[in-house]
Each structure stands twice: as C-alpha cells, then as structure tokens.
C-alpha cells in the first residue's frame, strides 16, 4: 500500500467513525433543495476529513459535497463524499459509506470507500489493484444476463428517474433479480466485488463516483456513459458491468 492510499484510508476511517458514533442518535436534517438534504453527521464527518487533509497539506484543493470547491485550474484534488447514502443513514438503514478519491489531471488515482457499520474498506490505486480489506477484488465472471443481479439508483429530478425506469422496464425481464442500493459509492464497490453484475445510475455527482471509478476499473469491470463511451467520474450517467456483460450493457442503452 502506498503512502497516499494509506493516508486516504485513514481519512475514510476517521470520517466513518464519526458516522458510526452518530448512527443511532437523533438526526438534525437540513434541506438543500427538492428531495435533497444533509444531516449533522454529513457535516461532522466532512469537518473531520477536511481537518486531517489540511493538517497534512494546508493548500490542498478539495471538492466535497457539502459546499467545498477547489480553486479554478486545480489539477490535483481530493474529491470527498462524507456520507454517501444520506437517505439510508437518516432512516437508520445501514447502506451508506464515506467516499474519498485523489484525482490528478482528471483521473482518479486512489479511491477508498468505507462502510463503517461493517468495517469494510474498499480501496484501489491506479495500476495496482483493488481490495476489500485484505482480499483482492475481482469483478464477477457472469456472462449471461439471465444469471445477473442488476442494481440501480436514481436522482432527485424527474428526467433521471424516468431514464432509470425506462431502462429497468427493458432490462428487468431479462435478469435474475434487481436491487436498489441507495448509495452509488457502495453500488460501484459491490459491482467491483462481484456482488452485482450491472449497476445503473443517471444522476451522479463527482463525489458519488470518483473513488468508485478507480475501484471498479482496478477490479476489471467496465464503465460506460449512456452514449456508450468510457465513463469518467464527472459525468452524471453511468452504467457499470461485469466484463463479460459489456455487449449486453451497451445494447441495453440503445
């Protein structure tokens, strides 16, 4: 493990500890917009993570869900979601995570997604592989969608919800079963771990998928945007799949 990946893991664990300690406590919920909110735990975890980054590098560029933006032209930055799965967390559903990536020149080179309830660290480094704790991650070998487990999540607006429902209407008849995760970071990690065969999301923000991108790629899975090109974390539309299902996945977008 490189020093950068080790430090990123430390950050994710520190944020996750805050979430775990507050999980069973009453929530303070604040609205940001239509179907969009944050809790006291989002802010507390973000503060913990950012303080650690800035103690290490006071000039670090940071993009985080709760109101932090890098300076214009920053080519290296931390991309942070202190609590991915806020709706789950607010209802005390245990599918949520901290997601942290370090990005250089638009490419995530290190990613960590930490599930604090189960103490699962999904981690990857560009060209060095992906792991769940000490175990190497490999995408599923599923080649027949009839045996596939597909999952999807959707955004708050009507258009991405409509896209998800249209896609599900076409594909749901073909697969073994369907899941909705409620955390894009965990959905991508479950795909990387072979727990899912396909994951669909049409309304991602950069902090939702930056860490997941490098984890999925290093596990050998495929990532596409809805035009069928290779996906990058700053694009909202993402379809991830086991490698042998790439043709099926691309056809499902047409």
Per-residue pLDDT, averaged over 90-116, amounts to: 96
Kindly tell me if the per-residue pLDDT of 224 is higher than 50.
Answer: yes
Predicted confidence at residue 33, as pLDDT, reads: 52
Residue-averaged pLDDT of the chain: 93
| pLDDT, tens only, 115-142 | 999 999 999 999 999 999 999 999 999 9
Asked if the domains at 3-136 and 145-252 fall in one CATH topology, the answer is no
| pLDDT, tens only, 67-97 | 788 888 888 999 999 999 998 998 899 999 9
Predicted confidence at residue 55, as pLDDT, reads: 96
Of 3.40.50.2300, 3.30.70.600, 3.30.540.10, 3.30.70.890, which CATH number belongs to 3-136?
3.30.540.10
pLDDT tier at 32, thresholds 50, 70, 90? low
Q: pTM (2 decimals)?
A: 0.94
Q: Position of tokens 């047409």? A: 254
Q: Cβ neighbours of residue 132 under 8 Å, at least 6 residues apart?
A: 120, 121, 122, 189, 193
DSSP secondary structure letter of residue 195: S
Q: Where are the domains of the chain?
A: 3-136, 145-252
Q: Architecture of domain 145-252 in CATH? A: 3-Layer(aba) Sandwich (3.40)
| pLDDT, tens only, 241-253 | 999 999 999 999 9
């Amino acid at each position: 493990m490189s020093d950068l990946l080790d430090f990123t893991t430390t950050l994710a664990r520190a944020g996750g500890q805050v979430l775990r300690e507050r999980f069973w406590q009453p929530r303070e919920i604040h609205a940001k917009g239509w179907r969009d909110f944050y809790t006291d735990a989002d802010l507390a975890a973000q503060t913990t993570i950012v303080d650690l980054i800035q103690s290490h590098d006071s000039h670090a560029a940071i993009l985080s869900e709760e109101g932090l933006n890098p300076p214009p032209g920053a080519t290296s930055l931390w991309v942070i979601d202190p609590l991915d799965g806020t709706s789950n967390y607010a209802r005390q559903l245990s599918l949520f995570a901290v997601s942290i990536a370090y990005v250089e020149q638009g490419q995530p080179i290190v990613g960590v997604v930490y599930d604090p309830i189960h103490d699962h660290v999904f981690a990857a480094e560009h060209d060095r592989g992906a792991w769940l704790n000490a175990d190497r991650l490999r995408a599923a070998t599923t080649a027949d969608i009839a045996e596939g487990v597909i999952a999807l999540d959707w955004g708050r607006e009507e258009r991405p919800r409509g896209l998800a429902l249209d896609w599900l209407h076409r594909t749901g008849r073909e697969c073994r079963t369907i899941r909705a995760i409620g955390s894009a970071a965990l959905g991508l990690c479950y795909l990387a771990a072979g727990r899912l065969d396909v994951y669909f999301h049409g309304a991602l923000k950069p902090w939702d998928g930056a860490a997941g991108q490098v984890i999925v790629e290093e596990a050998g899975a495929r990532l596409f945007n809805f035009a069928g090109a290779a996906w990058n974390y700053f694009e909202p539309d993402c379809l991830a799949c086991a490698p042998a299902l790439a043709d099926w996945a691309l056809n499902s977008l047409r």
